[in-house]
Amino acid sequence: MFAINHEAVDLDLRYATADNLTGSPIYTHAVALLHPDAHSALERSADLASAMGYRIIVFDAYRPSIAQWRLWEALPDPKFIADPRAAGSTHSRGIAIDLTLADSTGKPLEMGTDFDEMCIQSYHGRLDLDREAHRNRAILLGIMTATGWEHQPYEWWHYNLPDPLVYQKKDDAETVARIMRI
């Protein structure tokens, strides 16, 4: 797993702070890790965003299964949180990213809802957003799909690599310890 480190990417790792749906920090270290395949895809995404005059803000990347349990216990709704007892989250395989776009100064673009705002306005294809939010989501969707990612219908901020089950969940103690205490 590689740490995200790109000149056009800023980190706002909400699960390392209390500003998340559980109300308390889940991660001990504010580190964003990705599987090498996802890491190189994100480098392409950041290069493309940068060429278009944007920056990327990352909210979450690799998420250990134990962290997925904390989220599931806070919000057991499979539309928004993958059930850790089933296939689990694509984040636990290191091949998913939660992100948004920012302008060249790092100011986040209007997307209609915040990250992790669990409501129907977070779905793709809504008709009840203002024009600017529609346009910004479409730009993010274009950048991400052009650089190898798949979208998720219920969360505008979530993208993962195709064929997620090809990748193993990473729950070995050494990898988990890079993010959080067990």
What does the binding site for Zn ion look like in residue numbers (CB under 5 A)? 98, 158
Q: Which is nearer to Zn ion, 54 or 59 (CB)?
A: 59
Instruction: Report which residue's Cβ sits closest to Zn ion.
Output: 158
CB of 157 to Zn ion, least distance (A): 7
Strand segments, DSSP code E, in 22-154 are 33-34, 55-60, 96-102, 150-152
Q: How far is CA 27 from the centre of its chain?
A: 15
CB of 142 to Zn ion, least distance (A): 19
Q: Look up residue 130 and give its two tokens.
A: 């203002």
Q: Which of 13, 128, 106 is nearest to 55 (CA)?
A: 106
Q: Look up residue 7 and give its two tokens.
A: 């000149």
What percent of the residues of the chain are helix, what percent strand, and what percent coil, each to the nearest 5? 35, 15, 50
Q: Look up residue 38 and give its two tokens.
A: 């996802």
Q: Which is nearer to Zn ion, 12 or 98 (CB)?
A: 98
CB of 13 to Zn ion, least distance (A): 12
Q: Which is nearer to Zn ion, 43 or 116 (CB)?
A: 116
Q: Would you name the residues annotated as active-site residues?
A: 155
